[in-house]
Amino acid sequence: MRLKTFSGGIHPSEFKHLTEHKIIEKAPIPEQAIVPLQQHIGAPTECIVEKGDHVKTGQPLSKATKFVSVPVHAPITGLVKSIEILPHPLGIKSLSVLIEHDGSEDQSFSNHNSNLNINDLDKDTILDRIRNAGMAGMGGASFPTHVKLSPPSDKKIDMLLINGVECEPFLTADHRLMLEKTEEIVKGIHIIMRLLHVKRVIIGIEKNKPDAIQLMQKRTKRYKKISVLSLPVKYPQGGEKQLIYAALRRCVPSGGLPMDVGCIVQNVGTAFAIYEAVYFDKPLIERVVTVTGPGIAQPKNVLARIGTPFKNLIEFCGGYIPSASKVLNGGPMMGIAQVTDEVPVVKGTSGILVLDQSYAKIPDEQTCISCARCVDICPMKLMPNRMTSYIEHDQIEDAVKYGLLNCIECGSCAYICPAKRHLLHYIKLGKMRYNEIRALS
Amino acid sequence: MNLHISASPHLRDNLSVPKIMYSVILSLVPAGAWSVYIFGLKALWIILIAVLSAMATEWICQTIMKRPVTLFDGSAILTGLLLAYNLPAGVPLWIPLVGAFVSIFIGKQIFGGLGFNPMNPALIGRAFLMASWPVHMTVFQTFPRGMQSLSGIDSMTGATPLAVFKQMREILIHRSEFLPEQVTQATESLYQLNRAYWQLLFGNIGGCIGEVSALLILIGACFLLYRRIIGWKIPLSYIGTVAILTTIFGGVDGLLTGNGLFHILSGGLFLGAFYMATDMVTSPVTFAGRLWFGIGCGVLTVIIRLWGGYPEGVSYSILLMNLVTPLLDRITRPKVFGG
């Protein structure tokens, strides 16, 4: 039988042993929460609170202005201390609401609606609950979930893929969630099935999580439509296009979306959050974050409120070791290096990775020796060597001809490069230059 | 605390350019050691002089051109080593000295150093020596230990199996122009050559330092393939093409009477296919490009061996295909996933 995977890819060390057997712990409620008003891809939201307002946990802080937009909510109860531009973990600065905890009891969302039958709810109610909960994809890209779940009528969706691949080294948040919240995830999947009428549901999980595969298989056995697919361990198996190809041999067209080939992909974390939003009307105010890496004293999986500063979670995990010198939002392959540890957890933060000096050291670049490794492993079948040399000479048009805009920025090329060329760095630069040029013309 | 920032990815593979170079060098050691055993210490001197001269040239060029000196990234050492492996054991000792200088200076540094050379530097050096001192480069005066008289290859002539093959084949193809005794002798010679696999594998025959033992080159190549330092596409398509074409056209009694196995085991084909054609800088980067590159090398090698002026065609065919590499990369660009 042919292996279910995609062509190309790399096998970095996994480092998952640091946290894969650690139960998700609840992180303490922060004294101060920083809530960026933009935590999704799409139109910005409009702030609806003012400085000095008292807000309660779960209360919306902003409202969506357009369809592709979701509100943010107060993750803690307290006073709005200020609304100002603060560092955002995506490496930008963004308008954020600063809330000071007033020590009062938290509103509880649990158990007030647990025997709900989703078939009693009509689709619009479900979609509204998902949208009002501020749901955005929790795998990292943070695309508004209700948009994905309401495909235009001309797109026929027959497959739902649930992404439990978690191919980024170090990260175990999805893995733990699948083990500890299996039933809830399955319920979340049923909510999506209610919205989409798909023929089949495939839960994709990499083979390095045999316990999660087994458990998911056990819990979904009685549903004919749902199956669990164990995938070879290879990065970036969790990339949307790579997962669709591995599971269904369908190829998302260049510049297209999964719905163009009849698929919707949702992360397991999102499935869980959808369950909470629809059953309990609970907004997205907390998520599982893997706090790990060689620079952390006690790596853990934590359930943290959105808006909790990285610093607090790092302290909760025993603090830094002395040689710690790089803090990332996300995993080592696609994570974004932070200039400060005072940035908050946002909806797309699946991990906080702290690297020590030996990993943080940026290798010296040598000249390309055309070894072709980047071309061999590129999961999008691009030629990173050629594109980057065009970008270095500011020949952006040529780089675009070589497929620059198809790059998914997985970083495999830079990982594999024996000359240690910062290939993805150039590619990101090229994309920025392309946008600049397009804006000018 | 000072935080480092950089673009992702924040993990890098352990493989580096020096590791690649030293792995290739390591895999060439058995063939070199064997060659010292069968040719004597002369072979060792040639290897040492070529390597040191290559390193010295690298250092001088980089110092004069004010480039970072990368003496120990292994690339100059490897170029020197490969050049030495392409020389007969009997050459005067100034030959490797001059050859290595040309390899590094004209073959590599004037183009901008490692990564920018259009053609394989070691083969540039060899081609230069062949053109300038053909007698030194084609007369195999040092005789291998344990050499058996084979098809007239003996201590008197010291020729290579391919040279004898070419000569005898000429006689048999134009047999009417030769005396009957000559034809009989040629038939006998070819018959023996076609059964000399054992000698070809172990190298007790004439030939260059590195190409005498096909077996040890093959073992080194397997190590590199296993460690994924080199890929299978170029060697396989190259050797496969030579085997097929020589089987079809290599015989004297018409089509399909040739001996492909003799051709792939003799001369520098294994050395060339596994070590020179796979040179990363000068070979294509695309999947299809590498297959076509190997096929092209194979076709050119067979044309030179069977119908050209030289008994051996590996180095020229690789050099010619090096020049086609940018074109191959351009026309075999992979189709973008979903594109």
Return the half-sphere exposure (C-beta side, CA atoms, 13 A cut-off) of residue A231.
Answer: 29
The reply to whether B5 falls in a domain is no
DSSP letters for B226-285: HTTSS-SHHHHHHHHHHHHHHHHHS-SSSTT-S-HHHHHHSTTHHHIIIIITT-TTTS--
Residues B229, B124, single domain; the answer is no
A162 touches A271 (CB < 8 A): yes
The alpha-carbon gap from A220 to the nearest alpha carbon of chain B, in Å, equals 32
Give the count of domains, chain A. Answer: 2
Cβ contact, residue pair B339, A253, below 8 Å: yes
| Sign (positive or negative) of CA dihedral B10, B12, B17, B18 | positive
Give the DSSP H or E segment for B18. Answer: helix B17-39
The alpha-carbon gap from B105 to the nearest alpha carbon of chain A, in Å, equals 18
User: Where in the sequence is the domain holding B123, given as residue range(s)?
Assistant: 17-138
The reply to whether A139 falls in a domain is yes
Per-residue pLDDT, averaged over A401-413, amounts to: 96
Residues A414, A273, single domain; the answer is no
Model pLDDT, residue B146: 61
Residues A237, A118, single domain; the answer is yes
Residues A269, A134, single domain; the answer is yes
The reply to whether B68 falls in a domain is yes
Tell me, yes or no, if A403 comes closer than 8 A to chain B by beta carbon: yes
Does residue A111 register a pLDDT over 70? no
The reply to whether A350 falls in a domain is no
Tell me, yes or no, if A244 comes closer than 8 A to chain B by beta carbon: no
Tell me, yes or no, if A256 comes closer than 8 A to chain B by beta carbon: yes
Work out how many CB contacts closer than 8 A connect A with B: 166
Residues A270, A124, single domain; the answer is yes
Residues A259, A380, single domain; the answer is no
Question: Rounded to an integer, what is the distance from CA B255 to the centroid of its chain?
Answer: 28
For an interface test with B, the pick among A261, A371, A388, A425 (most B C-beta atoms closer than 10 Å) comes out as A371
The reply to whether A217 falls in a domain is yes
Cβ contact, residue pair B284, A372, below 8 Å: yes
Q: What CA–CA distance (Å, rounded) separates A148 from A356? A: 38
For an interface test with A, the pick among B1, B2, B4 (most A C-beta atoms closer than 10 Å) comes out as B4
The reply to whether B295 falls in a domain is yes
Cβ contact, residue pair B5, A337, below 8 Å: yes
Widest Cα–Cα separation across chain B: 91
The residues pairing with A423 across neighbouring beta strands, listed in sequence order, are none
Among chain B, residues having any CB pair with chain A shorter than 8 Å are 1-13, 15-17, 19-20, 70, 73, 112-116, 231, 280-287, 290, 329, 333-339
Which residues fall within 8 angstroms of residue B64, CB to CB, at 6 or more apart?
Answer: none
Q: Please tell me which residue of chain B has the smallest CA distance to A170.
A: B11
Q: Is B109 exposed, middle or buried (0-12, 13-18, 19+ CB in 10 A)?
A: buried
DSSP at B10: -
Residues B133, B192, single domain; the answer is no
Return the half-sphere exposure (C-beta side, CA atoms, 13 A cut-off) of residue B204.
Answer: 9
Residues A258, A118, single domain; the answer is yes
Tell me, yes or no, if A278 comes closer than 8 A to chain B by beta carbon: no
Q: What CA–CA distance (Å, rounded) separates A42 from A290? A: 26
Cβ contact, residue pair A375, B10, below 8 Å: no
Tell me, yes or no, if A400 comes closer than 8 A to chain B by beta carbon: no
The reply to whether B210 falls in a domain is yes
The reply to whether A337 falls in a domain is no
Relative orientation angle of helices B41-64 and B75-85, to the nearest 10 degrees? 140
The alpha-carbon gap from A409 to the nearest alpha carbon of chain B, in Å, equals 9
For an interface test with B, the pick among A367, A380, A387, A404 (most B C-beta atoms closer than 10 Å) comes out as A367
Residues B127, B208, single domain; the answer is no
Does residue A1 register a pLDDT over 50? no
Tell me, yes or no, if A326 comes closer than 8 A to chain B by beta carbon: yes
Q: What CA–CA distance (Å, rounded) separates A203 from A358? A: 36
Return the minimum-mean-pLDDT range out of A65-74, A111-120, B109-118, B247-256: A111-120
Nearest Cβ partner of A381 from B1, B116, B337? B337
pLDDT by 10s per residue, chain B, length 339: 789 999 999 999 999 999 999 999 999 999 999 889 888 899 999 999 999 999 999 999 999 999 999 999 999 999 999 999 999 888 999 999 999 999 999 999 999 999 999 999 999 999 999 999 998 888 765 566 665 555 555 544 557 888 888 888 888 888 889 999 889 888 888 888 888 888 888 776 767 888 878 899 999 999 999 999 999 999 999 999 999 999 999 988 888 888 999 999 988 899 999 999 999 999 999 999 999 999 999 999 999 999 998 888 999 999 999 999 999 999 999 999 988
The reply to whether B149 falls in a domain is no
The reply to whether B127 falls in a domain is yes
Q: Please tell me which residue of chain A has the smallest CA distance to B75.
A: A369
A336 touches A329 (CB < 8 A): yes
The reply to whether B24 falls in a domain is yes
The alpha-carbon gap from A281 to the nearest alpha carbon of chain B, in Å, equals 37
Q: What CA–CA distance (Å, rounded) separates B321 from B295? A: 10
Cβ contact, residue pair A414, B9, below 8 Å: yes
Residues B112, B177, single domain; the answer is no
Tell me which of A232, A261, A280 is where a domain ends: A280
The alpha-carbon gap from A434 to the nearest alpha carbon of chain B, in Å, equals 18
Residues A409, A265, single domain; the answer is no
Does residue A392 register a pLDDT over 90? yes
Cβ contact, residue pair B13, A12, below 8 Å: yes
| Sign (positive or negative) of CA dihedral A362, A367, A371, A373 | positive
Give the DSSP H or E segment for A337. Answer: strand A336-337
Touching B: A residues 152-181, CB under 8 Å: 169
The reply to whether A195 falls in a domain is yes
Nearest Cβ partner of B114 from A334, A359, A369? A369
Model pLDDT, residue A71: 96
A3 touches A232 (CB < 8 A): yes
Cβ contact, residue pair A403, B339, below 8 Å: yes
Tell me, yes or no, if A341 comes closer than 8 A to chain B by beta carbon: yes
Q: Please tell me which residue of chain B has the smallest CA distance to A258.
A: B338
Please state whether beta strands A159-164 and A263-267 pair in parallel, antiparallel, or not at all (unpaired). parallel
Q: What CA–CA distance (Å, rounded) separates B246 from A186? A: 64
The alpha-carbon gap from B15 to the nearest alpha carbon of chain A, in Å, equals 5
Q: What CA–CA distance (Å, rounded) separates A11 from A270? A: 26
Residues B177, B271, single domain; the answer is yes
Q: Please tell me which residue of chain A has the smallest CA distance to B10.
A: A332
Cβ contact, residue pair A383, B280, below 8 Å: no
The percentage of residues in chain A with a pLDDT greater than 90, rounded to a whole number, is 91
Nearest Cβ partner of B280 from A363, A371, A379? A371
Three-state DSSP at A55 gives: strand
Q: Which of A201, A187, A199 is nearest to A118 (CA)?
A: A187
Residues B184, B257, single domain; the answer is yes
Q: What CA–CA distance (Å, rounded) separates A359 from A324? A: 9
Tell me, yes or no, if A340 comes closer than 8 A to chain B by beta carbon: yes
Cβ contact, residue pair B115, A368, below 8 Å: yes
The alpha-carbon gap from B175 to the nearest alpha carbon of chain A, in Å, equals 49
Return the minimum-mean-pLDDT range out of A22-31, A100-109, A287-296: A100-109
Q: What CA–CA distance (Å, rounded) separates A101 from A57? A: 10
The reply to whether A419 falls in a domain is yes
Give residue-wise pLDDT tens across range A197-221.
Answer: 899 999 999 999 999 999 999 999 9
Tell me, yes or no, if A32 comes closer than 8 A to chain B by beta carbon: no
**Reduced 3-state DSSP string for B168-208:** HHHHHHCHHHCCHHHHHHHHHHHHHHCCCHHHHHHCCCCCE
Does residue A109 register a pLDDT over 80? no
A273 touches A130 (CB < 8 A): no
User: Where in the sequence is the domain holding A241, given as residue range(s)?
Assistant: 16-20+110-280
The structure tokens 């053609």 sit at: B119
Q: Please tell me which residue of chain A has the smallest CA distance to B9.
A: A333
Residues B310, B195, single domain; the answer is yes
Model pLDDT, residue B141: 59
Q: What CA–CA distance (Å, rounded) separates A47 from A65? A: 10
Tell me which of A224, A257, A280 is where a domain ends: A280
Q: What CA–CA distance (Å, rounded) separates A404 from A284? A: 34
Per-residue pLDDT, averaged over A102-131, amounts to: 80
Categorise residue A420: left if φ over 0, alpha if ψ from -120 to 50, beta otherwise.
Answer: left
The reply to whether B144 falls in a domain is no
Q: Which two tokens stand for residue A302?
A: 């934590």
The alpha-carbon gap from A356 to the nearest alpha carbon of chain B, in Å, equals 10
Tell me which of A253, A280, A307 is where a domain ends: A280
The alpha-carbon gap from B242 to the nearest alpha carbon of chain A, in Å, equals 25
Give residue-wise pLDDT tens across range A264-309.
Answer: 999 999 999 999 999 988 999 999 999 999 999 999 999 999 999 9
* Helix ranges, A221-366 (H): 240-248, 268-280, 310-316, 357-360
Cβ contact, residue pair A254, B339, below 8 Å: yes
The reply to whether A316 falls in a domain is no
The reply to whether A146 falls in a domain is yes
CA angle, B204 then B206 then B210, to 5°:
85
Give the count of domains, chain B. Answer: 2
A76 touches A112 (CB < 8 A): no
Query: Number of helices (H) and strands (E), helices first, in chain A?
Result: 14, 16
For an interface test with B, the pick among A243, A366, A374, A389 (most B C-beta atoms closer than 10 Å) comes out as A366
B165 touches B158 (CB < 8 A): no
Q: Which two tokens stand for residue A252?
A: 């998302």
B212 touches B199 (CB < 8 A): no
On average, the pLDDT of chain A sits at 94
Q: What is the dihedral of CA B68, B72, B74, B78, to 10 degrees?
A: 100
Q: Please tell me which residue of chain B has the smallest CA distance to A244.
A: B338
Model pLDDT, residue B196: 83
Quickly state the pLDDT bin for A108 (edges 50, 70, 90).
low
Q: Which of B103, B12, B24 is nearest to B280 (CA)?
A: B24
In chain A, residues with a C-beta closer than 8 Å to the C-beta of B13 are 10, 12, 415-418
Residues B181, B309, single domain; the answer is yes
**Reduced 3-state DSSP string for B76-121:** HHHHHHHHHHCCECCCCCHHHHHHHHHHHHCCCHHHCCCCCCCCCH
Q: What CA–CA distance (Å, rounded) separates A91 from A329? A: 9
